[in-house]
Amino acid sequence: MHNIVEINNLKKSYKGGFEALKGINLTIRQGEILALLGPNGAGKTTLISTICGITTATSGTVSVGGHDTVKDYRAARKLIGLVPQEIHLEPFEKVINTVRFSRGLFGAGSDDAVIEKILRQLSLWDKKDSQIRALSGGMKRRVLIAKALAHNPRVLFLDEPTAGVDVELRKDMWQIVAGLKADGVTIILTTHYIEEAEAIADRVGVITKGELMLVEEKDTLMARMGQKELEVQLSEPISAVPDAIASDALRLSADGTALIYTYDTRKERTGITSLLAKVSEAGLVLRDVVTRQSSLEEVFVNLVHKADEKTSQSEDAA
């Protein structure tokens, strides 16, 4: 699998001195779905805008499909589709005309078959002659995607595609993204919904305060960073953890029917064997044993906290 987007030491600072991007290095592989996760104001949108040519970088380079996005912007941008975060559409325009316009703007000759395919794929074909202002919010978002896809881009940037979208539409959106991936489109999406990254991404990057904290395979990330929980369900509820087995890692569920043990999968000894032995020594009868992977959310919160600590430390030092 070769790399389709390469970002080298990309920096962006604004006039006031605010550094939105502090030297981002990132390589995106062809055909993958990369989720960029980060809190509001982390620099996600700035990163995307800089790659797509909406803002200019202060320093650093970006290449898409081997074309530099500044020196060879025409070739680079032809490969890129961008779905912005806000719904920016001409209210009085017909759906099909605005999609045609986007296709033309990217230098692709008019091709009604392609437009029809895209509109059908996004369930917009019935609405093709409707004015955009007559569409629902979800439909408008689909129009934005249709516009971004109109010139058959190889890389699609989705900036918070499901911000403020209801659950059903979010699931729809995920399906659309999966369909695009199946067509071989590389997808970079920003989100602050961890659930979203967890559900559809191949890799996850975490951005906070203009820095890319990490980029990893979603599964590795969760395995590496994640703690697991072992839930030992008891046949009889108990009122307190017996002294013999008490430890910091062990707590009792609220209803007293389960012992919850948190452990680190990276450690050589997880302590499960001895725990289970002690549980039976204490005379407790087990009903079931369940293990749970901690969610990406916890991983994310951990990382962002670490970043916060780092900045406050360096501020203290200064």
Contacts (Cβ under 8 Å, ≥6 apart) of 289: 230, 231, 232, 233, 276
Beta-strand relationship, 250-252 and 258-264: antiparallel
**Residue 74 binds other proteins, judged by CB under 8 A:** yes
Stretches 102-110, 195-203, 216-224, 235-243: which one binds other proteins (CB under 8 A)? 102-110
**Residue 77 binds other proteins, judged by CB under 8 A:** yes
Tell me which residues in 30-59 interact with other proteins (CB under 8 A).
52-56
**Residue 92 binds other proteins, judged by CB under 8 A:** yes
Shorter beta-carbon distance to other proteins: residue 107 or 179? 107
Q: Minimum Å distance from CB 310 to other proteins?
A: 31
**Position among 4, 10, 63, 100 found at the interface with other proteins (CB under 8 A):** 100
Using CB atoms within 10 A of its CB, is residue 277 exposed (0-12), middle (13-18) or buried (19+)?
A: exposed
Q: How many chain residues interact with other proteins (CB under 8 A)?
A: 32
Stretches 71-79, 114-122, 219-227, 239-247: which one binds other proteins (CB under 8 A)? 71-79
**Residue 259 binds other proteins, judged by CB under 8 A:** no
**Residue 252 binds other proteins, judged by CB under 8 A:** no
**Residue 104 binds other proteins, judged by CB under 8 A:** yes
**Position among 108, 165, 238, 272 found at the interface with other proteins (CB under 8 A):** 108
Q: Minimum Å distance from CB 81 to other proteins?
A: 9
**Residues that bind other proteins in the complex, under the rule CB under 8 A:** 52-56, 73-78, 80, 82, 84, 86, 88-92, 97, 100-109, 147
